[in-house]
A and B are shown apart, each in its own frame.
Chain A
């Protein structure tokens, strides 16, 4: 069964702290990895994509990928109350367009002022 696993949370972090989210995937053929943010009742919003092992930074967000361990993570620095949402990890078998996204169940993050 090809799956994407995430801790459902909630992950409670104080404002200004670092939120650390983890995701593991079972399909070793996965080539593309994404983090989406989803506010309650809204659609997934892409915040990061990563395709190579290592770190990728974009503003307050850092994605980390380790294909050997089948593990991808997301760090949110200087967490703000507006970051309170569910963060979805998604993987895809190929880098190019086409092919479906397989989503994890999401980690709910609560940032407390």
Chain B
């Protein structure tokens, strides 16, 4: 069964450093998302991406964040200058098969980001 994959599973970085989190969405899906979950808190939406552009973003997704689909398979989240409060699990999700009426979002296993 197709699944969303993410790398790395755990990333440790120093405050102020740039990190890139990588995702391979399910093949043929059209919409891609990043969510994050701070330990003990709700899953929060960051950004959605469709047709090579951002379709929606939350207040969390400020100028420090960017997303990119550099090729036909990868979807990346870049944090330019990490802060301590960026420490969280980051989940990639994908959905959207052409012609399908109802579309569920499927999540990858996540990347645990620890900012020291």
Residues of A participating in the B interface, judged by any CB pair closer than 8 Å? 32, 34, 36, 42-46, 49, 51, 88, 90, 95-106
Contact = CB atoms under 8 A, between A and B. Distances in A.
A43 B42 contact: no
Given A43-B91, A97-B31, A98-B48, A103 B102 contact: no
A98 B96 contact: yes
12 contacts: A42-B109, A43-B89, A43-B108, A90-B43, A95-B102, A96-B96, A97-B96, A98-B96, A99-B56, A100-B33, A100-B58, A106-B42
- 5 closest A-B pairs by beta carbon, nearest first, are A97-B96, A97-B103, A100-B45, A103-B43, A43-B107
B104 interface: yes
Interface of B: 30-31, 33, 35, 41-45, 48, 50, 55-56, 58, 89, 91, 93, 95-97, 100-110
B102 A88 contact: no
Given A42-B109, A43-B108, A101 B45 contact: yes
Nearest to B103: A97
A102 B77 CA distance: 20
A74 B101 CA distance: 23
B42 A44 contact: no
Most buried by A among B33, B97, B102, B109: B102
Contacts of A99: 48, 56
